[in-house]
Structure 1
């Protein structure tokens, strides 16, 4: 499903992280990828993240899943919304929704959240710290956008929801199935279902915070740092005031930190592993019996294709013209020549045919990823 009526170059230049954009009939032929009953079934699963948000007596109620099946039968008249996270990790039809958005680097893509709402249902006025494309799948929804928010924007008092205390809409649209609204980070927005059976697909992007990066990077480094690597001042001179921390001492202390933090090679390797750590590792595609390179070669020779686990994350970082680091679900694999070319393909394609006469090193990497559950074989129809 490719986007239509959408100019990627113009969008990135004039709208990405700048201002909202409504795209009518974003697909030539829109088909809703998942029906409401199937979404409700996912919400009942214990390993699927889901929520129900209800607007009752001018207050907001939040329930976390898994949702008992009887809950849907007992739903009252108050407007409610079901939200199911990472649906693309569970359903190939929803994972296919991501393909048209590959003009944004894969490492920035987070997941597809799907919402189902009855008439008047919504999650309230809020803002996100990341970009989002809101695709109308079924029914109709009124979307309003407002001002740019920040950390000082006043929120309603609520333990589980970050809702705006004062929302003033500046623009509004009613979206029909196949319409799409792009909302940049920190732009206030609110969606309300018009009629029952309203489904929206929220394609969200990852935007790590500075605090998150520093904390995770430091946590990774600390175990490898020696306790004997300490501050030293063998050329100490007597100071006029013993209470002063000298500029020289401060510079040396800061350098001890900076030299470690600014190790570009180590940071690249760490970030590749950190960024590809699976969000839902419980989606297990590991085979019953481990595959080796010979097994892989036989399957490829039989015409079987490789498919990526939709819950897996694939990225690469180039080192030279012929070598790179492949990152898959937190693994780091050094690749060169034929294996590097395979790595490029597997990062760009969700399904690929690989020659059975590939280099032995490539077959070994495929076996490793199949046994890890990141790849699987699929017979041709």
Structure 2
């Protein structure tokens, strides 16, 4: 598989991923923005949509942040320039934006965060900053000048008086102007500053990884919900201590053994992580179907040429064990065995699963029932 722009995925992952920035000219030739500025403003007025406005100079205060949802009148009160509207999760609400993600399937599904849309008039910016995740900055409309380069971290000086992490005394190492279809990849920790040269929309395709804290607390919580977690520790070979205040090495070894035994269960780790990594970022968009169907309805609709799609807010992934396969959909787990295991990679490969490959599998009542369940719960829909 190649990246947008024609670079082999293997080369990109080897030379650039989490290593250094990359400018890709015409990664998406002829790209037209999947959303207009007015549509972004409309989304920012919706309760279920996460949105923000950043104003560079707000009544003398630098880089002020305002969180949505907004009243429509709010946009009439903004200055003529030097502000930015940010709409998170654009791919959850705009199918055309979700389709852009198909070009990034060289990165595992579980690493995807979402697409954030940024609209700014000439001079608009969110200030020089750095992110803690990988991001592809795709120019969808207009032009934006980017300065980038140099590693930043928590010790990097910041501007005071703002809730944002704006870098102080910023000076980038490279400068580039992106037009529609151009794209800039930035690894975590690379400072960058984008300024709109005209009315522009930039789509930020973000890829996050969990923190060590996320993993430790999430997996330990999962283990605590498993059978046997409520059992008390036993010490039938307890020996009289020389000092009752001492915690013996034997006690520590017993504790270590209890913890190590559970941490060595890689099957449990994989089952937890699949559910954790596919938990939907926005559960509001995953709603049960208005008109539930049964297995025969699904079979007939697909036979008649209907196309199957993921809900734009859904996340699909799977993990193969020796004897079975775990399919994960929006934090739920489904175990597949035998020939049914073929369903998992088929469903997870693309946001539009290949119906021609899917139809033979639906001869199995259990698999047809699973697809029906996913449809009725809102994880899949038919075009």
State how far apart, in whole Å, the 1-side matches of 2:169 and 2:381 are.
49
- 1:172 is matched with which residue? 175
Tell whether 2:224 aligns with 1:222.
yes
What are the residue-to-residue correspondences of 1:106-121 with 2, within 5 Å? 106-121=109-124
Cα distance, 1:2 vs structure 2: 7.4
TM-score after normalising by structure 2? 0.91
- Aligned residue pairs, count: 376
Counterpart in 1 of 2:125?
122
Map 1:233-244 to 2 at 5 A.
233-244=235-246
> In the superposition, relative to structure 1, how do residues 168 and 2 fare at CA in structure 2: closer, same or farther (>3 Å)?
closer
Cα-to-partner distance string for 1:154-198 (whole Å, 9 max, x where unaligned): 333456322223433111211111111100011111111112x11
Aligned-pair CA distance for 1:127:
1.3
Q: Matches of 2:211 and 2:173 in 1, distance apart?
A: 28
User: Alpha carbons of 1:193 and 1:227: their partners in 2 closer, same or farther (altered >3 Å)?
Assistant: closer
Task: State the shift of 1:12 in Å.
Answer: 0.9
The runs of at least 4 aligned residues of structure 1 exceeding 6 Å deviation read: none
Of residues 261, 264, 270, the one that matches 2:263 is 261
Name the residue aligned to 2:331.
Answer: 330
Distance 2:3 2:148 in 1: 26
CA distance in 2, matches of 1:361, 1:200: 44
Separation of aligned partners in 1, 2:372 and 2:110: 23
| Superposition deviation, residue 307 in structure 1 | 1.3
Deviates most, 275-284 or 14-23: 275-284
The answer (yes or no) to whether the contact 1:145–1:188 under 8 Å persists in 2 is yes
SS in 2 for 1:355: helix
Shift of 1:377: 1.8
Mapped partners of 1:242, 1:165: distance in 2: 56
Find out whether 1:358 has 2:363 as its counterpart. yes
Alignment deviations for residues 104-155 of structure 1 (CA, whole Å, 9 cap, x no partner): 0111111000000112111111111110000111111111113212333333
Q: 2:375 aligns with which of 349, 352, 370?
A: 370
Moved more, 357-366 or 48-57: 357-366
TM-superposed deviation, 1:78:
4.7
* Alignment root-mean-square deviation, CA: 2.1
CA distance in 1, matches of 2:306, 2:359: 10
Structure 2 unaligned regions, length at least 5: none
Matches within 5 A, 1:89-100: 89-100=92-103
CA–CA distance in structure 1, aligned partners of residues 9 and 78 of structure 2: 42
Residue 61 (structure 1) aligns with: 64
Distance 2:287 2:237 in 1: 60
Contact 2:223/2:229 (CA < 8 Å) preserved in 1? no
Contact 1:85–1:111 at 8 Å: present in 2 too?
yes
Structure 2 Cα separation of the partners of residues 219 and 160 of structure 1: 32
Question: Which aligned pairs between 1:331-346 and structure 2 lie closer than 5 A?
Answer: 331-346=332-347
For residue 294 of structure 1, the aligned residue among 277, 287, 296 is 296
Match of 1:190 in 2: 193
1:232 Cα offset (Å):
3.2
Structure 1: tracts of 5 or more residues without a match: none
Aligned to 2:322: 320
- Aligned-partner Cα distance in 1 for 2:209–2:377: 27
Q: 1:169 to 1:341 in 2, by over 3 A?
A: same
Cα distance 1:338–1:118, how it changes in 2: closer, same or farther (>3 A)?
same
